[in-house]
Amino acid sequence: MSRSAVRSPAQDPVGALHHALHMRLASGQRFAALLGRGDPDAGTSLTALVAHDGDVTALSATLPAGVTHYPALTPQLPAAFWYERAIHDLVGLLPDGHPRLDPLVLPHRDDASRLLPHPGAPGQPDRIEPYERALSVHLHGTGVFTIPHGPVRSGVFESVEYLVETPGEDIPHLRIRPHAKHRGVQKRFEGMTVDDGVLLAERVEGIASVAHALAFAHAVETLAVARVPVAAAMIRVLHAELERIANHLDVLGKLTDAAGLAVATARFGLHKEHTLRLVGALSGSRFGRGVVVPGGVTALPRLPADEVTAELDRLQHAINGDVRALLDTSSFLDRVRTAGPLDPELARTHGALGPIGRGSGCTDDCRASRPYDGYQQLAPPPVAVRSAGDAQARMQVRIDEIEAAFYLTRQAIGRLPDCDTDQLSVVAQPGAGQAVGWAEAPQGEVLYLLDVDDAARISYCAPRSASFHNLMLFPSIFVGDILTDFPFNEASFGLSIAGVVM
Amino acid sequence: MPWVLRGLRNGVVTTGYPRRSDPYAEAFPASVRPLVVGSANGVPVDDTLCPTGAIHNRAGALQLDAGQCILCGRCVRERPDLFGWVSGSQTARLHRQALVVPQLPETDEAVELVRRQLAARVRRMFRRSVHIRHVDAGSDGSEEWEALALLNPVYDVHRLGIFFTASPRHADVLLITGVGSHGMAEPLRRTVEATPRPLVVIAAGTDAVSGGLVAPSYAVAEGIGELVDVDVWVPGSPPSPFSLLHALLLAVGRIPPEGR
């Protein structure tokens, strides 16, 4: 977790950023994010995050006050497509040559009357309502019509609007409008202490609370040059892996629900409930909230190690039986096999994250490539990878990861008695500066680009969830799929909209 | 099919709640309250103790607003002499003010009044089965998990005649999660408008009740109470399934309200 290198040649800063990015991507590094900050009237900056073995590097370009346009990166770097749309929505910069600058997180009027959040700039805007008329409504193709899914979905789902464009059966095109849930979280971080900030991080993407808290805490710990006690590092792994088990069980439950396998849905729902209860018994929160703080963890698990291990054994035994039965149910496998294929080449160039990337042959997992906390000491099992790229491959990756998560939780809880448990956290008083923190959420890598000022307050905080990075790929997996495949494709992605628009 | 046998594997796992009390529901630390009742004079309570400002020291008496509390536990960790966890999942209330503990005396009357009004509204209609339409108005995603958990075999709300429905036209209860983002204001308004009367609205979760840690922000209201008339308030970040179930039963008048 390094302090970021800032490179910003005065002439053509974006060109230099582009060049630096190009060189790194050509040498096999992965484009992970493009984030904007500031107010065009007072000066803005663009920061690209590049992931590689051992570190995430931040490359920045500073644009002087008054500059409102810059040459878009998307034409050469398609993975920046959504990032530049979000930068346009939040910062107000116009990327020239962007292929389709539709609103993404906050539709606004592109005129002088607009009021924008300007993350990283001083002050908090009062109230900004989305300007729905900025949304594009055009549609092309003979006999094509749109089926809107959402924003209020049918069932208990997070709000998001999918516009399915179809001539009747196929889905040649899908548009995603996630903006309804935009909560302005990024701006909300600003001015907070890091102790409050970690609580907000837990609520950026509530089903991956632990991973977000970890990524945030890692950024703070880098700035504070703090080393987390071994016992805390193990407790962090324990909770991160239990969160992974719960999330993957949720996906299995939703996949079987889509297939109408009622008993399987009930069984996976039961296992998920038991997992959440175990997390609750350990920490007091069914989502492991309040465990991770900058510098360590708040408390020891509230259950003795042997009870935890016994419950893990019971849970794993029960899950394995149902997974075996599921992999033997041909009527179910027929639905997920070849559904929602994500082209491995696209996954690689996009830098697809988590089980979605690993189902299409991408091997990156920051627990292995940039290990943190207890993953440095424990021997993690090999990264689960499949190459088929379909919903089944993504499911298989998750099944393997459940297995690995049980192994890791047992290791972590087993190490605890040998650790010094008197001290579970160190003081993490961050010095002024910028740092990147990361953690592997069940959905994939979470990144936090964090700036702290001299008073140890957050002056800029940009979370980048795997959900944001991966949802961009969702429209491209409907090749050959029909309307009834939609629930399988959605469930197999297993993303959270809260983490997409924040 | 192996699934038939797998379905029978663990016998009955369903809770007896509400007919019998459930040990998990009873033991779950679902709220925090001040331990010092009455005078807390001379006890300085630091402003940074609560990240959402849920703790007030009014005229020497400590009060905690569960509707603002995100259950981070910081006050219990730093001032165990003043604050403690409370077990029990029956956290839903019929009046926003009733979430403040210890309760003000005048709140009792207000709660009794809304209870009678709500009972008059739902008595005939919701006696047997109710249909719920869930709306996410800007949640962090965890509330949806807990709402969905009501359908798993442990809670199995179908046994109580409670069903989730896809259409607001069939709904009796709106279960609203999330802080009330401006982008969801219009879809939420349309959903409320499409729902037949009588209608009971539940604000599920601290975010929905007060905005929690997410508000104030340029993009959200301070809870969905600014957008719709709320009948039942459930705190929690997120509220556990038992708390949501408590809210649902309270909404349809099947159990008496707590804290009367």
B90: distance to nearest CA of chain A, Å? 16
The whole domain housing B230 covers 96-251
The pair of structure tokens assigned to A474 is: 């969702």
Residue A179 lies in a domain: no
Region of poorest pLDDT, from A152-166, A181-195, B113-127, B165-179: B113-127
Residue B170 lies in a domain: yes
Q: Do B166 and A261 touch (CB under 8 A)?
A: no
| Distance spanning both ends of chain A, measured CA to CA | 24
B129-180 residue pLDDT tens = 899 999 999 999 999 999 999 999 999 999 999 999 999 999 999 999 999 9
Residue from A447, A490, A488 nearest A205 by CA: A447
**Do A212 and A77 fall within a single domain?**
no
**Do A218 and A357 fall within a single domain?**
yes
**Do B193 and B236 fall within a single domain?**
yes
Mean predicted confidence (pLDDT) in A204-231:
95
Report the residue of B69, B167, B218 to disrupt the A interface, i.e. the one with the largest count of A CBs within 10 Å. B218
Q: Do B179 and A155 touch (CB under 8 A)?
A: no
The answer to whether the peptide bond before residue A117 is cis (omega within 30 degrees of 0) is no
Residue B15 lies in a domain: no
**Do B118 and B199 fall within a single domain?**
yes
- What's residue B260's pLDDT? 40
Residue A202's closest chain B neighbor by CA? Answer: B140
**Do B121 and B226 fall within a single domain?**
yes
Residue B8 lies in a domain: no
Residue B1 lies in a domain: no
Residue A118's closest chain B neighbor by CA? Answer: B218
- What's residue A35's pLDDT? 95
Q: Do A266 and B4 touch (CB under 8 A)?
A: no
**Do A97 and A190 fall within a single domain?**
no
Residue B17 lies in a domain: no
Per DSSP (E only), the strands in A72-189 are 94-96, 145-149, 161-166, 173-177
A424: distance to nearest CA of chain B, Å? 14
| ipTM confidence score | 0.92
**Do A214 and A344 fall within a single domain?**
yes
Q: Do A159 and B28 touch (CB under 8 A)?
A: no
With beta carbons under 8 A apart, name residues in chain A contacting B138.
Answer: 159, 180-183
Residue A331 lies in a domain: yes
> Taking CB atoms and an 8 Å cut-off, how many pairs form between chains A and B?
190
Region of poorest pLDDT, from A352-366, B35-49, B134-148, B170-184: B35-49
Q: How confident is the model at residue B259 (pLDDT cuts 50, 70, 90)?
A: very low
Residue B110 lies in a domain: yes
B194 touches A: beta carbon within 8 Å: no
When comparing pLDDT for A345 and A10, which is higher?
A345
B245: distance to nearest CA of chain A, Å? 15
- Which of B142, B147, B213 has the CB atom closest to A207's CB atom? B142
Q: Do A199 and B213 touch (CB under 8 A)?
A: yes
**Do B108 and B76 fall within a single domain?**
no
Helical segments of A259-298, H only: 262-283
- What's residue A6's pLDDT? 45
Q: How confident is the model at residue B254 (pLDDT cuts 50, 70, 90)?
A: confident
Average pLDDT, chain B: 88
- Which of B10, B85, B140 has the CB atom closest to A206's CB atom? B140
**Do A87 and A216 fall within a single domain?**
no
A123-161 residue pLDDT tens = 888 888 888 888 877 777 778 888 888 789 888 899 998
Residue A173 lies in a domain: no
Residue A132's closest chain B neighbor by CA? Answer: B183
**Do B43 and B107 fall within a single domain?**
no
Residue B1's closest chain A neighbor by CA? Answer: A329
**Do B167 and B215 fall within a single domain?**
yes
Give every CB contact of residue A336 below 8 A, 6+ residues apart in sequence.
A255, A259, A390, A391, A392, A395, A488, A492
Q: Do A128 and B143 touch (CB under 8 A)?
A: no
What distance in Å separates the CA atoms of residue A355 and residue A359, rounded to the nearest whole number?
A: 6
**Do B54 and B107 fall within a single domain?**
no
Report the residue of B15, B151, B217, B245 to disrupt the A interface, i.e. the one with the largest count of A CBs within 10 Å. B217
Residue A445 lies in a domain: yes
Q: Would you say residue A295 has pLDDT above 60? A: yes
A 122-141 → B contacts, CB under 8 A: 124-130, 132
Q: Do A181 and B149 touch (CB under 8 A)?
A: no
Q: Do A183 and B4 touch (CB under 8 A)?
A: no
With beta carbons under 8 A apart, name residues in chain B contacting A127.
Answer: 182, 218
**Do A113 and A262 fall within a single domain?**
no
For residue B201, the domain's CATH number is 3.40.50.12280
**Do A347 and A494 fall within a single domain?**
yes
- Which of A125, A270, A290 has the CB atom closest to B72's CB atom? A290
**Do B56 and B170 fall within a single domain?**
no
- What's residue A53's pLDDT? 87
B128 touches A: beta carbon within 8 Å: no
Q: Do A159 and B151 touch (CB under 8 A)?
A: no
Domain C-terminal end among A130, A158, A174: A130
The answer to whether the peptide bond before residue B238 is cis (omega within 30 degrees of 0) is yes
A360: distance to nearest CA of chain B, Å? 26
Residue A384 lies in a domain: yes
For residue A490, the domain's CATH number is 1.10.645.10
For residue B42, the domain's CATH number is 3.30.70
When comparing pLDDT for B231 and A113, which is higher?
B231
- What's residue B197's pLDDT? 86
Q: Do A287 and B142 touch (CB under 8 A)?
A: yes
Domain count of chain B?
A: 2
**Do A427 and A313 fall within a single domain?**
yes
Residue B215 lies in a domain: yes
Domain C-terminal end among B87, B118, B139: B87
**Do A110 and A228 fall within a single domain?**
no
B55-110 residue pLDDT tens = 888 767 788 899 999 999 998 998 888 899 999 999 999 888 888 888 777 777 88
With beta carbons under 8 A apart, name residues in chain A contacting B188.
Answer: 152
**Do A110 and A190 fall within a single domain?**
no
Q: Would you say residue A381 has pLDDT above 70? A: yes
Q: Do B73 and A286 touch (CB under 8 A)?
A: no
Q: Do B214 and A188 touch (CB under 8 A)?
A: yes
**Do B44 and B124 fall within a single domain?**
no
A182 touches B: beta carbon within 8 Å: yes
Helix (H, G, I), strand (E, B) or coil at A71: strand
Q: How confident is the model at residue A221 (pLDDT cuts 50, 70, 90)?
A: very high
- What's residue A164's pLDDT? 86
Q: Do A496 and B213 touch (CB under 8 A)?
A: no
The whole domain housing A350 covers 185-501
Q: How confident is the model at residue B182 (pLDDT cuts 50, 70, 90)?
A: very high
**Do B80 and B120 fall within a single domain?**
no
- What's residue B202's pLDDT? 95
Helical segments of A327-453, H only: 330-336, 344-350, 354-358, 366-369, 391-415
Q: Do B152 and A185 touch (CB under 8 A)?
A: no
Q: How confident is the model at residue B3 (pLDDT cuts 50, 70, 90)?
A: confident
Residue A149 lies in a domain: no
With beta carbons under 8 A apart, name residues in chain B contacting A179.
Answer: 183
A238: distance to nearest CA of chain B, Å? 19
Domain C-terminal end among B40, B62, B87: B87
With beta carbons under 8 A apart, name residues in chain A contacting B85.
Answer: 284
**Do A313 and A230 fall within a single domain?**
yes
Q: How confident is the model at residue B256 (pLDDT cuts 50, 70, 90)?
A: low
Report the residue of A159, A194, A216, A502 to disrupt the B interface, i.e. the one with the largest count of B CBs within 10 Å. A159
Q: Do B178 and A181 touch (CB under 8 A)?
A: yes
Mean predicted confidence (pLDDT) in B174-200:
93
DSSP string, chain B: -HHHHHHHTT------TTTS--HHHHH-EEEEEESS-SB-TT----GGG-TT--EEEETTEEEEETTT-----HHHHH-TTTEEEEE-S---BSSGGGGEESPPHHHHHHHHHHHHHHHHHHTTTTSS-EEEEEEESS--SHHHHHHHHTTSTTT-GGGGTEEE-S-GGG-SEEEEESS-BHHHHHHHHHHHHHSPSS-EEEEESHHHHH-TTT-S-TTB-SSGGGTS--SEEE--SSPPHHHHHHHHHHHTTSSPPS--
Q: Would you say residue A5 has pLDDT above 60? A: no
**Do B164 and B182 fall within a single domain?**
yes
With beta carbons under 8 A apart, name residues in chain B contacting A322.
Answer: 6
With beta carbons under 8 A apart, name residues in chain A contacting B166.
Answer: 154-155
- What's residue A10's pLDDT? 59
Region of poorest pLDDT, from A130-144, A158-172, A327-341, B175-189: A130-144
Residue A177 lies in a domain: no
Q: In this structure, are residues A53 and A370 in contact, taking their beta carbons and an 8 Å threshold? A: yes
Domain count of chain A?
A: 2
The pair of structure tokens assigned to A401 is: 């990861």
B258: distance to nearest CA of chain A, Å? 22
Region of poorest pLDDT, from A76-80, A117-121, A378-382, A400-404: A378-382
A31-74 residue pLDDT tens = 999 999 999 999 999 999 999 988 999 999 999 999 999 999 99
pLDDT > 70 in chain A, percent: 98
- Which of A200, A273, A321 has the CB atom closest to B149's CB atom? A273
Q: Would you say residue A414 has pLDDT above 50? A: yes
Residue B2 lies in a domain: no
- What's residue A82's pLDDT? 94
Is the alpha carbon torsion for A498, A312, A324, B151 positive or negative?
negative
Domain C-terminal end among B33, B68, B87: B87
Q: How confident is the model at residue A332 (pLDDT cuts 50, 70, 90)?
A: very high
- What's residue A329's pLDDT? 93
**Do A310 and A381 fall within a single domain?**
yes
Residue A163 lies in a domain: no
**Do B48 and B170 fall within a single domain?**
no
